[in-house]
Structure 1
């Protein structure tokens, strides 16, 4: 009589099937890990591209801003369009204020694209505030800055400049370059 070994042969088939399923799961997991890695690299590339596009957009905006201000500085009739100051100003003052605006806006754009830190922005502004025309410009545009969205970089930096200007005017120190507390990063 022949002995039948169904149990051993059945277990061997189950073990082989289980090993095959485990191997298949490992291959699937490896493929998924590779796909996720590829997606992560692609996402990082897209984020860098978006960041680069934002810098390009800001640079283009800065160029356009300068072109418009240059036209207004060169042409008193065009400058009248930008005369939004609190008190009437002479043609000379208007041109000076427009140039002060260009200096400030340039620093603001440099900060926004990461070319300078907040501390460097602070130091630059502290320097240009030594000029009385720049101070007059800052006061003359106070109401315009009041319309800037409260949580924006521009509003925060504007408040920082306001505080610095107050500190500079209240200081009796001859060493203006040490007045004010540079912001922490």
Structure 2
């Protein structure tokens, strides 16, 4: 009987030790899980802040771009600095191209900031390029876009090139139905 008692006590001790170890492991895992959750929440907040900062930076850059273009539009001597077109253009045409550039850049920045989906960007571009001056600007700056290979802007530019080709080939006057917006770039 004494042997059974000692055996049971050892069994209970071993069981208690095992349960204690299991409880310790569970507590450690729970603590690690809490720490990982806290780190994950912190990363999410940092990513959100980074997104806000990126949008703020894009907005500031767009403002600076507009200020520079405005100066060039208002002052023909400054506009000559931006005359990088392969074919010479008149001062009037240069001002129009600068304004077309401002319109396109505004559209591009709105998309990059997340204010326009790709579908909305496509539809706004389709409307913008109904204007013959905007189309002339696009053609005059083709060589500039050729240097943007592999970028998001290059892909958007190619999307617009494809759209303009579709518009030229369309046998309808209903330009607003021409072309399918891409689902992704």
Q: TM-score range by the shorter chain?
A: over 0.9
CA RMSD of aligned residues (A): 1.6
Unaligned segments of structure 2, at least 5 residues: none
Q: What SS does structure 1 have at the residue aligned with 2:66?
A: helix
Partner of 2:167: 168
CA distance in 1 between counterparts of 2:19 and 2:170 reads 80
**2:147 aligned with 1:147, yes or no?**
yes
Partner of 1:89: 89
Partner of 2:27: 27
CA distance in 1 between counterparts of 2:9 and 2:157 reads 82
Partner of 2:111: 111
CA distance in 1 between counterparts of 2:8 and 2:168 reads 95
Partner of 1:98: 98
Q: 1:182 Cα deviation (Å)?
A: 2.1
Partner of 1:156: 155
Q: 1:43 Cα deviation (Å)?
A: 1.2
CA distance in 1 between counterparts of 2:81 and 2:15 reads 85
Q: Which moved more, 1:8-17 or 1:134-143?
A: 8-17
Q: 1:37 Cα deviation (Å)?
A: 0.9
Q: 1:8 Cα deviation (Å)?
A: 2.6
- Please list the CA deviations of residues 109-153 of structure 1 after superposition, one character each: whole Å capped at 9, or x if unmatched: 1111111111111111111111111011011101011001x2211
CA distance in 1 between counterparts of 2:67 and 2:141 reads 20
Q: 1:165 Cα deviation (Å)?
A: 1.3
CA distance in 2 between counterparts of 1:77 and 1:155 reads 30
Partner of 1:124: 124
CA distance in 2 between counterparts of 1:54 and 1:115 reads 13
Q: 1:35 Cα deviation (Å)?
A: 0.8
Q: What SS does structure 1 have at the residue aligned with 2:27?
A: helix
- Please list the CA deviations of residues 155-181 of structure 1 after superposition, one character each: whole Å capped at 9, or x if unmatched: 011011111112222334221111222
Q: What SS does structure 2 have at the residue aligned with 1:14?
A: helix
User: What's the TM-score once normalised by structure 2's chain length?
Assistant: 0.92
Partner of 2:46: 46
Partner of 1:55: 55
Number of aligned residue pairs: 183
CA distance in 2 between counterparts of 1:31 and 1:69 reads 57
Partner of 2:9: 9
